[in-house]
Amino acid sequence: MTLAELIRRIPKAELHLHIEGTLEPELMMALARRNHITLPYADINEIRSAYEFSNLQSFLDIYYAGARVLQTERDFYDLTYAYLERAAQDNVRHVEIFFDPQTHTERNVSFRKVIDGICSALHKGEDDLGISSRLIMCFLRHLSAADALATLEEALPFKDRITAVGLDSSEVGHPPSKFAAVFDRARSQGLLTVAHAGEEGPPAYIVEALDLLKVRRIDHGVRCLEDPALLARLVKEQVPLTVCPLSNVKLRVFKTLAQHNLKRLLDAGLCVTVNSDDPAYFGGYVGENYLRCQETLGLDADDIHALARNSFQASFLDDADKARHIRELDALVSEMTNRRSGPA
């Protein structure tokens, strides 16, 4: 058994995935054609070569421009189903998908079209690919709290299809505290909460997300190592971090993957998970994130096992489903690692 084989075969959950970030250049071109939209790129190579980013904002500018090709319910269906097919190749069994309604409703694409398209694909993915899912609605933090609140009210008639709310987009200058009242309202309606924090922003934003937004997980959170008291709290409370290593390198949170702190986070006793964030833009789906980290950071079979186990443990599945996935994972790892240590 090689560790690459182990990574490919273990069941895993993906908990940090923006559906708009799975828009591959080929689909972007096809949807532009279908919807009669002119893109500022002549071909797929030009699109790919535009994907050089200096920070989060330089990515977001290109990402929001790309999302303009998404217009109809069918577009959201095609986008989501293409992601699920790709995730199945990495043996992803459960996904918790972010979507950004404001990116679409501000272009007069209705909330209903967005959520209907995504949810029909998620249902087909469950039936045909065996991938279960949850949906997380994110607010764009560069927009106002009033805009987020209006979006929440628009979403409430669909709340049986939404498990949690989250917070994404430009982090620095838009602290979690800006959205405390919106998240209070979301929780009062039975929604769970998560937030991007400590990606580019300071550890204090992670503290605010915990104390003011009452989040169940921190998305990214890699800057927590700068604050020993926060680190101790995250370990004690086992607050999961949804880390996205290839994203962090593409957006220059770390200069190289070798400098990424994933292994240090794991060794500190945190509940760390590995995820792809916006794989069409960052050059790797979740399996590739595991693999590149294994090779570059020297992860061993125990580390990989822990990451996959954490992915189920940190999910919003119920306890029985978590236990079922973890039993299957444990059995596979022990079968594969025993074979490795046994006679040739």
Q: Is 18 in the site for ligand ADE (CB under 6 A)?
A: yes
CB of 334 to ligand ADE, least distance (A): 35
Query: How distant is the alpha carbon of residue 98 from its chain centre?
Result: 7
169 binds, among Zn ion, ligand ADE, none (CB under 5 to 8 A by kind): ligand ADE
14 binds, among Zn ion, ligand ADE, none (CB under 5 to 8 A by kind): none
CB closer to Zn ion, 97 vs 299: 97
Which of 71, 247, 273, 310 forms a contact with ligand ADE (CB under 6 A)?
Answer: 247
C-alpha dihedral, 252 to 255 to 256 to 260, nearest 10°: -80
- Using DSSP, state whether 62 is helix, strand or coil: helix
Which of 24, 75, 208, 277 forms a contact with Zn ion (CB under 5 A)?
Answer: 277
284 binds, among Zn ion, ligand ADE, none (CB under 5 to 8 A by kind): none
CB closer to ligand ADE, 276 vs 315: 276
By the 8 A CB rule, do 82 and 27 touch? yes
Q: Is 168 in the site for ligand ADE (CB under 6 A)?
A: yes
By the 8 A CB rule, do 246 and 284 touch? yes
Q: How far apart are CA 229 and CA 210, in angstroms?
A: 13
Q: Among 84, 66, 76, which residue's Cα sits nearest to residue 109?
A: 76
31 binds, among ligand ADE, Zn ion, none (CB under 5 to 8 A by kind): none
CB closer to ligand ADE, 125 vs 245: 245
Other C-beta atoms lying within 10 Å of the C-beta of residue 180? 16
Q: Among 205, 296, 291, 289, which residue's Cα sits nearest to residue 250?
A: 289
| Residues in CB range of 318: below 8 A, 6 or more apart | none
Please identify the residue of the shown chain whose CB is closest to the bound ligand ADE. Answer: 168
Other C-beta atoms lying within 10 Å of the C-beta of residue 340? 13
Q: Which of 63-71, 86-94, 183-191, 269-277 is the region at the interface with Zn ion (rule: CB under 5 A)?
A: 269-277
Does 199 qualify as catalytic in the annotation?
A: yes
State the binding string over 87-126 for ligand ADE (x if CB under 6 A, else -): ----------------------------------------
Which of 169, 242, 275, 294 forms a contact with ligand ADE (CB under 6 A)?
Answer: 169
Size of interface with ligand ADE, in residues (CB under 6 A): 10
The DSSP secondary-structure symbol of 141 reads T
Q: Among 6, 8, 14, which residue's Cα sits nearest to residue 310?
A: 14
Other C-beta atoms lying within 10 Å of the C-beta of residue 89? 11
Residue 242 φ/ψ region, left for φ over 0, alpha for ψ in the -120 to 50 degree band, beta for the rest: beta
Q: Is 14 in the site for ligand ADE (CB under 6 A)?
A: no
State the binding string over 53-72 for ligand ADE (x if CB under 6 A, else -): ---x----------------
56 binds, among Zn ion, ligand ADE, none (CB under 5 to 8 A by kind): ligand ADE
Copy the structure tokens of residue 19: 């559906």
| Site residues (vs ligand ADE, CB under 6 A) | 18, 21, 56, 168-169, 196, 199, 247, 277-278
Catalytic positions, please?
199
| Site residues (vs Zn ion, CB under 5 A) | 277
